[in-house]
Structure formats: structure tokens, C-alpha cells
Structure 1
Amino acid sequence: MRVPGASPTRRRRMHEVAGGLLMCAIVAALPTVAGAVPPPPPNPSDGDIAAAGDRVDNSVAEVGGLINEVATAEQQLRQLDADVAIKREAVNKALVDLQTAREAADAAADAVAATQRDLADAGANVDRARADFDRFAVEAYTSPATGSMTTYLSGATPDVALSRSQLLSVISSSQRSALESLHRAQIDRANKDSAAREAKQAADAAAAEADARRADAESAVSAARAAQDAQATRRAGLVTQRDTAQHRLDFARQQVAGLQGQRDAYLAWDRERRAEEAAAQAAAAAAAARAAADGDALGRAAQLGAGRRPHTQLDNSPTPHSSMNPPGRPVGDRGELIETVIDRAMSQLGVIYSWGGGDENGPTKGIHDGGVADSFGDFDKVGFDCSGLMLYAFAGVGISLPHYSGYQYHMGARVPVAERERGDMLFWGPGGSQHVALYLGGGRMIEAPESGEVVRVSAVREGGIMPYAVRLIP
């Protein structure tokens, strides 16, 4: 497109100036192109991962040791369980033995009582027989004239008397024999009584010993139970320690997995970032090449900027004189015009943000804001702010924009932001006064974000976005 009202020499000079500015922007942009990747995830160091691995190793050793201790404690507890069972049965045996001994003692006591009764009966029989014998003997020799047996045996003649005397002797011998038999029975019963007493003493001693064994067995059970309880308590403590150590091990493993996952995520992010940067650099280089070769766009931008008071000029200096007439809106293929705008914006990728910076021909020094921008030295940096980047991009198709996003929001046709298309402007803040960016499609936009940043491609931020996009190329 020819620039009306300008001599060929002036047109050539404007193109050279604009082209020089554009190439400077290209050179500045390419090394520092920012991709549209999200912020970097945490990237743990090798030392962090190694330390986490050491904690896992230490925890594994601790858990292994505690597992062995628990197994040993469980084995000992099983042994104690068996010991308690044996000792409980020993109590049962002692109780049975005690019962048997007590029964034997009771039987021996009964036998002693029986022999005592038999001995008493035998003594009484002996006493009665001795008394009868003594009475018979006395009567035989002291009262021969009575009607006793002696009288019966006495006779009138010597033969009769001798016969009777022999009978008396036989009777006396029989009584003495019976008395001796009773006496022997008495002695036998006395011996049996003595044996019964000895048996009772032995049975009592056996019962006492069985009772002692029962007490010992019950004490052994109590001791075994105490040992069992102590071992169970020790095992429970070891199990608690093992479980705690296992939790630490699980946590340490999670930490390792988490750190490794963070490292993997970071590496994936870094690969994506590098790919995005490479793609952005390629896109920026291609856009810059196309923008530099687009003489018509350079001419239109130079024409719009000629004779206009610079945005950074805050004094009352006269406006530069220009003989050029403002161009009308260019006519051409809509898609080509949109790509021209996007090429010009993309050609500035990586250019530093400068508040108040940027005009139709490229980046400029910023201005003082007395605050944040000044703290970043924007007044002394050559770059763009958000509305300056839009001004530069659309100047290439002959669209003149004011250097203020709030005014830019009221230019062109408004479309619902959900229906935005490539080449539309997006706005944030009341009346578009906070920020403006150029929509690239696919949920991405190019913007000059804020002090300390550079022109970059970003994902569209839906939070706070104005409900309408502005379409300047219908």
C-alpha cells in the first residue's frame, strides 16, 4: 500500500526507520521468548531425593529389625502359652493327687476307727473270759460244797472223785486255751490298729504333700501367667513400635515417590517449556520475518504515527508537523489482515514490559508512574505496555488506537467473550481499564503483562475477564 502525501524519499525513510525498529525488536525477542506453559512445578534436588531415599533405607532397616523382634516375642509368647497350659494341667494333676491322697487318708482314718473298735471288742472279750476263768477257779477251790460245778464233779468214792477231778482239769485247760485265743486275737487287733495308724500317718503325709504340690502348682501357674502377661505386653509394645516404624517407612516411601513424581513432573514441564519456547521462537521468528517483509504494514504504521504527539511526551512541546493525511481502514482479505496484526504482535515476543511504552512503529521508553513501574525502571526501558502492544499490532493494518485499554474497549464491534475469535482483543477490569491482550485462538493470547515481565503468549485468564471481546477487523 502506498502512503499518500509522502515523497518517495520520505516513504523510503519511514520504511527504513520502521524496519530498523522491527528488526531490533526481533533480535531482542528471540533469545527471551516466553512460552505459554504454566508456572514451573517444584523441582526437588538430587540431595533431597537422596536424603529421602536414605530415610527409606533407615526405616526399612528399623522395620526389619522390629519385625524380627516381634517374631521372636511371638515365638516366646507361644512358648509361654504352652508353659502356662502345662502348668495349668499340673495344677489339675495336683488337685487329682490331693483328692486321691485325701480319700486315702479318709480311708485310713476309717480303718483306724474300725481297728480301734475291734481292739476294744477283743479287749472286752478277753476281760470277760478272764473274769469267768478267775471266778471258776475261785469257786472250784474255795466253795466245794456249793451247788457249783465242783460239787457236781466231786464223788463219794475216790474213783469218782478222780474222774471228776480230771474233768475239772479239762475244763480249766479249755478255758485257759480260749482265754489265750482271745488274747492272741487282742494282740492281732492291736497290731492291725498299729498298722492302720501308720497307714493313716502315711496317708496324712501324702495328703499334706499333695496339698503342697497343689500350692506349688498354683504358684507356678501364677508365675507363668505373669511371665505370659509381661511377654504379651512386650510384644504389644514391639508391635506398636513396628507399626509406627512401618508408618514412617510408608511416609518416607511416599516422600520419595512424591519427590520423584515432582522431579518427573518438573522434567515433563521443562520439556514442555522448551518445546513451547522453541515453537514460540519459531513462530516469533516467522512472524518477525513476515512483519519485516510486509512493507505495506510498515507504511501504514509509519503513516499513523507520523505527526502524532508521542505518548510519552508530557510537556507542551509542539506536535511534530506532518504533511500526511490519515489513511482509511485498509481493504483486503479479513484473514490476511488478522494475520498481519498477529504477526506484528508476535514479532515482539520477549520485548521487555515498559509502562507507557510502545507506539505505531515499535517499542519506546516508558514513563514515570511514581510507583511500581518506576521501581522497575520502566521509564528508562524500551518496550511495550499492554495497550501499546495493541496500538503497534493494529497500526499495521491502518487501525489507529489510543494508548489506553479503557478507550480501546469502546472501539470496534463488541462480541460476547465466549464467541471470541482469533484477532479479537480481550479486556480485564472495569470498562477494560485494567488490561488488554490479543486473542490467538485455542485458549491462548499474546500480552505485555506487567512490570518486570516481557511480551509473552499466555493461556487466557478467565477470572475478571470482561464479558465482551472487541473485534476491530469485521
Structure 2
Amino acid sequence: MKRHTRFGFGHRKFPGGLSRGVRLLIGLGVVGALVGGTPVPAAAVPPPPPNPSDSEIAQAQAQVRAGVGQVSDLIEQVAAADQQLAQLDNEVAIKREAVNKALVDLQNARAAAEVAAGVAAASEQALRDAGTQIELAQKDFDEYARASYTRGTNASTISAYLGAEGPSDVLDRAMVLKLVADSQKSMLDGLQRARTEQANRDSEARKAKQLADEAADRAAALKSAAEQAIAVAQSALQDQEVAKEQIEAARASAQARLDSARSNVVGLQGQREAYIAWDEQRREEEARQAAAEAAAGEAAARVAADEAARQRAADLAAQQPSHTAIDDDAGGYTTGDTKSTPKSRTWGNTRPTGSAAIETVIDRGLSQLGVQYAWGGGDENGPTKGIRDGGVADSYGDFNKVGFDCSGLMIYAFAGIGISLPHYSGYQYTAGKQVPSKDMRRGDMIFWGPNASRHVALYLGDGQMLEAPQSGSRVKISPVRWDGMTPYAVRMVS
């Protein structure tokens, strides 16, 4: 009787009569396909990103620290240059006023010299007039003397006596003649005295003119010296301005290097974090691959065990005299889907916190040192044109200036870390965590006036603060003023 054996493998039926060797080859082929013929697919892992060493990161951080120190030194140099410029401005103003004084003194001296010259000229004219009068009187006296001599010494007396009507008349005529002679002599003497006095006055007038001329010469010399002094002061001021510009250029260059160094640190740290994330993903994929391979091995072992069972069943069936149907409902084999979705991670810029955020705020504020004050000026992008206040700020022309007021400077500084502040110190006072002013620390805002309505500044530590003080001034570093400070400071960054 023909023996017929039916094997069930999955959903395929193998006809009876296949030899034992053929059936074994089929089973081994299935195992080979599961284990070696078709590998378990592995999830794609991207190539590893750069992984900077600890020394590279430490070196970059050291460059940042060095850059901060250099920028701080240059900021102090700029502040010192500003102070020197202010001092030189004062010196120029003083010397300018000295020139004005010298001009006034010169004008007064020249006016005095002109008056003295006029007096001297008038005195000389009076002296000449006196001389003329003396000459005329002398001429009259000389004519009288000549007439007396020509007619004889007593001619006039005898004539007077001969015409007299009596002794008393003779006496009267003699007295008249004596009086005439005495009057002429007295007048001549008086004219001589007047000429002498006029000569003295003329000498004094000429001396006064000489002194006035000397005073005018001295005033002219002082004016020349004052003009030379202001020229020297202005030259020094210009040299200081050039030096300040050079320092500011060096500060800008150092700030650029500092920004680059900070970006480098952030980039290296980002690379390190990206590498760590990649390594985590690689480990997860390797673990999944190992699990998949282990599952494939277990499946192969089950196939081999099933094949061995089938073989034993086939051997038993071959020993039976009658038809035996053996069904194997082992069914299919699956390795199971061991793949899992890798953990996703979002990368990008986040708001800095801690000391990094504080330094960003301070560096951003310090970058505006020297910018002029403009009431109502400043926003998150930088200095802006001021506005009218109808009073003090208008008198300084703030509405035509581009700069910061105190709260505008705070807006710009904190915008560097994504914090938006209102343009009013009173509102900024309640924008963050209030801490006692005695406990304030670097990066806190400090306030003055009732409800912080008067002024706000940024505390730098060591008793120093950054502020935009008032109209007519500029953004600068100042010692902390405790008088009138509010009881609380405001901390925007923890």
C-alpha cells in the first residue's frame, strides 16, 4: 500500500513521498533565511557630530574670561578718557574766559590811553596859551619900561606933578602911577606862576599817558598769551578726543572678539550636547539591534526544534502500516517588531539664565557708555530720538537728540536676554522680584524717588552702577548713591 504523508508548514502543503533529506534541507533553508540569509534591519544612525574635548571648551571659556577682562579695562579707559575730556573742556572754557577778560582789559587800557592822550594834548595846548599870554604881558611891560627910559626916569612923575592942582592932587597922582607899575609887575608874576603850574600839569599828563600806553602794551601781551594758552588747551582737547576714539575702536574690536569667543563657547558646548545626544541614540539603536538579533536567534532555535519534532513525527509515520496524517500547525514565525521611535530632541536658542544672562545684560548696557542722554529715548533696539517734556529736557534740546533716558537704557540692556520692560521706572520697579536694597547684587536694577518714580540704574557690583543720569549728560558708570534710594532693588534674573 502506498504510504502518503502530509506536512503542514505555514500555509504550504508538501506532497507525500519527499525524502527525509529534502525535508531537512527545506527546514535548514528556512533557518538560514531567518538567521543569515536576510539580516535584521537596523535603524539608520547618522555619522557622529564633532565632539570637542574638555580642553578645547576650557580654552574657549578662558578666552571669554580674558575678553571680558579686556573689555572691562577698555570700558574703564573710555570712562577715564571721558573724565579727562570733561576736565579739558573745563580748562578750555576757563582759558576762553581768560581771553575774554584780556580783551576787556585791553579795551579798557586802550580807552584809558586815549583819555590820557587827550588830557596831555589839552595840557600842552594850555601851556602854549599861557606862554602866549606871558609873551604879550612881557611885551606890554617891556614897552612901558622902554617908554619910561626914553622919557626919563621921572618924566611921567614930573608931568603928573606939573598938571596937579595942589599937593593932595600931586599925592594922588603919585599913588596912581605906583599902582600902575605894581599892577603890571604883579600881572607878569601871576602869568609866570600860571605857566609854571601849567608846565607841571603838562608833565603829569605826559606821565599819565606814558603809564596808560604801558598798561595797553601789557594788556595786549596778556591777550596774546591768553590766546596762545587757549590754542594749547584746544590742541590738548583734540588730542584727547583722538585718543578716546582710538580707545573706543579698541573696545569695539575687543567686544567683537569677546562676542566671537562667546559664540565659540556656545558652539562647542552645542557640539558636545549634540554628540551626547547622538551617542545616546547610537546606544539605543545598538540595544535595539542586539535585541532584534537575540529575537532572531530564538526564532531560529524554535524552527530547529520544530523541524526536529517534525522529523521525529515523520520517522514514526514511516513505521506505521497505514496512512497517517500529521498536521503541524506551528504557523508562521515572527521576530516581533522591536524597533522603537528614537527620542526626539529640539535644539535651538534658549533664554540664558544665571550669571551668563546677567553678564549679557551688563555687557549690553556697557556697550552704550558715552551715548548722550535724551529724555524719552531708547528702546529694545538701541538709542532713539527724545521727546518734549515742556520743561528742563526741552531747554537742553532732548527732543532733537538721539540717546537714552534712565528707563530706556534698562529696556535696551534686558532686551539682550529677551526680557521686555515698560518705559517707566515706576513700572520697572514691579517688573521682577523685589529684594532689599542692602542685599542687591550684580545685574539688579536700583531705584530712587517715591515708588521708584525718579530714577533707575543697573547695579554693577563693588559700589558701582550704570546709568543715564539727566539732560545734558551721557550714559556713564557712577558710584552708587544711597541717598533717596528705594527700600528694594529689582532682580530680573535669578
2:221 to 207, 212, 223: 212
Find the counterpart in structure 2 of residue 163 from structure 1: 172
The aligned residue for residue 459 of structure 1 is none
Query: Structure 1 residues 193, 344: closer, same or farther in 2, change over 3 A?
Result: closer
Q: Does 1:241 align with 2:245?
A: no
Of 68, 73, 76, which aligns to 1:68?
A: 76
Alpha-carbon spacing, 1:275–1:166, altered in 2? closer, same or farther (3 Å): same
Aligned in 2, Cα 1:345/1:214: closer, same or farther, shift over 3 Å?
closer
Give CA-to-partner distance per residue, 1:350-399, whole Å, 9 cap, x none: xxxxxxxxxxxxxxxxxxxxxxxxxxxxxxxxxxxxxxxxxxxxxxxxxx
Q: Quick one: distance in 2 between partners of 1:205 and 1:150?
A: 65
Q: Is structure 2 residue 124 aligned with structure 1 residue 116?
A: yes
Distance change >3 Å, CA 131–CA 149, structure 1 → 2 = farther
Structure 1 match to 2:280: 271
**1:287 and 1:344 in contact (8 A); partners too:** no
Q: Normalising by the residue count of structure 2, what TM-score does the alignment of the two structures yield?
A: 0.55
Query: Match for 2:126: what amino acid?
Result: D
Q: CA deviation at 1:288?
A: 5.0
Q: Give me the whole-angstrom Cα distance separating, in 1, the residues matched to 2:127 and 2:92.
A: 51
Partner of 2:55: 47
> Could you give the per-residue CA deviations for residues 69-123 of structure 1, whole angstroms, max 9, x where no partner exists?
2222221111111111111111111011101100111111111111111111111
Q: 1:59 to 1:149 in 2, by over 3 A?
A: farther
Are the structure 2 counterparts of residues 20 and 119 from structure 1 closer, same or farther at C-alpha, using a change threshold of 3 Å?
Answer: same
Conserved? CA contact 1:49–1:260, under 8 Å: yes
1:133 corresponds to which of 131, 141, 153: 141
Tell me the TM-score normalized by structure 1. Answer: 0.57
Q: Is the 8 A contact 1:112 1:193 kept in 2?
A: yes
| 1:11 aligned residue (7, 23, 27) | 23
Give 1:217 deviation, angstroms. Answer: 0.3
% identical equivalent positions: 45
SS in 2 for 1:92: helix
Alpha-carbon distance change, 45 to 21 in structure 1, aligned in 2, over 3 angstroms = same
Q: 1:200 corresponds to which residue? A: 209
Cα offset, 1:24, TM superposition: 6.3
* Distance in 1 between residues matched to 2:14 and 2:294, nearest whole Å: 27
Letter in 2 for 1:84: V
Question: What is the deviation of 1:169?
Answer: 1.4
From 31, 43, 46, give the equivalent of 1:38: 46
CA distance in 2 between partners of 1:253 and 1:149 (Å): 131
Q: Contact 1:35/1:277 (CA < 8 Å) preserved in 2?
A: no
Name the stretch that deviates more: 14-23 or 255-264: 14-23
Residue in structure 2 matched with residue 84 of structure 1 by the alignment? 92
Seen in structure 2, the aligned counterparts of structure 1 residues 298 and 215 have a Cα distance that, compared at 3 Å, is farther
Whether the aligned pair in 1 keeps the contact of 2:117 and 2:209 (CA below 8 Å) is yes
CA distance in 1 between partners of 2:194 and 2:153 (Å): 36
Native 8 Å contact 1:23 1:292 kept in 2: no
Shift in Å, 1:167: 1.3
Please tell me whether residue 262 in structure 1 is matched to residue 271 in structure 2.
yes
Aligned partner of 2:185 among 170, 176, 184:
176
The aligned counterpart of 1:226 is: 235
Partner Cα distance (2:110, 2:47) in 1: 93
Q: Which amino acid aligns with 2:27?
A: H
Give yes or no for contact 2:157–2:174 (8 Å, CA) kept in 1: no
- RMSD between superposed Cα atoms in Å: 3.7
What amino acid sits opposite 2:77 in the alignment? E
Residues 238 and 345 from structure 1, CA distance in 2 versus in 1: closer, same or farther, beyond 3 angstroms?
Answer: closer
User: Matches of 2:196 and 2:80 in 1, distance apart?
Assistant: 70
Residue number in structure 2 paired with 1:190: 199
Deviation string, structure 1 residues 183-217 (Cα, Å, up to 9, x no partner) = 22212211111111111111111100000000000
Change (3 A) 1:91 1:7: same
Aligned partner of 1:182: which letter? L
Residues 195 and 145 (structure 1 numbering): CA distance in 2 closer, same or farther, change over 3 Å? Answer: closer
Paired with 1:209 and 1:58, the residues of 2 have a C-alpha distance of: 59
Opposite residue 19 of structure 2, the aligned amino acid is S
The 3-state SS of whatever aligns with 1:53 is helix
Which stretch shifts more, 129-138 or 79-88?
129-138
Shift of 1:132: 1.3
Sort the Cα spacing of 1:260 and 1:109 in 2 relative to 1 into closer, same or farther, 3 A: same
Closer/same/farther in 2, CA of residues 153 and 242 from structure 1, 3 Å limit: farther
1:48–1:133 Cα change, 3 Å: same
